Structure 1
Amino acid sequence: MKVSEISNGSAVKIHAAIGGHNIVLMTEAIFGVSVGLLVKPMEYFGKYMQFLEPSNVEIRNKRDGRVYKFMSTTITPVKTRYGNFHLIRSSSKLEPENTRRAQRFYIEKLGLMSVNGDNQNLRNCIIYDISMRGISLILDNYTKLKIGDSLDVMFRYGATLHNYEVSTVVVRHFEVDGKRAVGCSISNLNVDLIGLLDSKRKEQHTELDKIPETNLNPSISQKEQIREVEEDIAKEEIPERPRTITISGNPFDPSNLEHIDRPTIRQAKKEEQMAQQAREIENLLDLRDV
């Protein structure tokens, strides 16, 4: 899949670095063009941002609900007849996250589990997330598990607090916000869990469907809009306002803050000092008259 094939209205997250500090920018896809992906404009201190070095980009595609991660070549502002936007260029082929991660649904409900068939000593746990292939559990401080342990997990979920049960095997250890957790594989899903996953998947797609698409010109087709925008991009015109800022160093560097009128600030401070001196002189004159 190419970056130009991303659907209109897809959520775009850009991970970049400024002066060694990581930042995350959020925007939204308009549509793909021959040279990349057109997205809504991004500003910083009243200027359009420009990334001339590779950045990590994460997109949740509205068409299929899957998350695609790739490395952009450049992210630059472009001027079109419909306004100013940003263009994400990338030569990378987009691959969706693996099925386990892409189809993960968060539950975050308290549950009970038995370890290796010991139903007399039930342990508390939090069902963190679940997928067709596995489940993640957050453990309390007293539960010790090792890879290969068999778990029978029970939890209630939904408006009717339906009881769900699943048998699973511990395959890895990790942490969630500093809390111990285990990842477990599921070999067989029962009908109840399949229904739960299906309902969660529908909820996810419903949320994506609520995101409105951007129509630059309702009087013509999107294909015609793309053709017009490509013509405008080919002109390589730079947006007039706000001015473009190239992110390649400290965002608080004086050169990146040209919109602040420094002579005016200095003049104001000077006038304030002069006024203070005048008040002090007046006070001295008042004392002489006493």
Structure 2
Amino acid sequence: MTFHNGNATYVEKVSLNIKDLERSLKFYTETIGFQVLNQNETSAELTADGENVLLILNQTDKERTHPRSAGLYHFALLLPEREDLALMTMHLAAKQIPLGSADHHVSEALYLDDPDGNGIEIYIDREPEHWIWNDNQVHMVTEPLNAQDLLKNRPDPEDFKGLPKDTIMGHVHLHVSELQKTDEFYTEGLGFEVILNFGGQALFMSSEKYHHHIAANIWNGLGAPAPEKGSIGLDYYTVVYPSDEALNEAVSRLKALGFTAEKEDGYTLAVDPSGNHIRMQTQNSHK
């Protein structure tokens, strides 16, 4: 997938703070279809292919800071084929999981929450040659998913054996406190491009003309407070750069804008204006 390797800058994994590790592992393995790659008493790394970590779960004693804080709106798992989305739909329906769904023109998506209320999108992309562009803005809508067409081959939920091994983290969508500084941080700093400004309510940003690697909205209200560190919700997510040069340039831009970017063990930590934590890495060092 050229939007998530090569010259692209993209989101690779998400780390969540959750209340009960056993409860969350049951949900993420049996309902979503992850495999456990590594686990200890308070955390676990989850994978689709048995090698690459997509999701990290961290048990915390802290509650969710505020019902309308900044933080995670949803993380989005990108499935390789439409048939995979159809089978996932039947599997979730058989387990009586409450679902939302949408056709965004560029993609078809399911929406649900984990046991702690963390939002999840599971989606497939339509072929990029069918995306519509207007003055460098991608055409995205929210229309009803054509479930009858999606499920026309009547997949058997018993055939669900977990996430396909080629599943990746397609994007993250964040609640933020405002959009102007958010735009500055993600575009002038991290180096993404605004692909769609949705009515002054949300920004959809990407590299390599993807429909979005990162989205940010103000639907929790202007001035939404930053979450308390360690509280239930988003811990951090990773942004992967194609080279050391690209990463170093992003770090320099962030610092020039007055943002901090601190080197840690194998990554650079940055915090967006709303308190969302990002680990910046390169394709050579992220695994």
| TM bucket, shorter chain | under 0.3
| The structure with more strand, counted as a fraction of residues | 1
Higher RCO (Cα < 8 Å, 6 or more apart): 2
TM-score of the two chains, using structure 1 as the length reference: 0.21
Higher CA-based Rg: 1
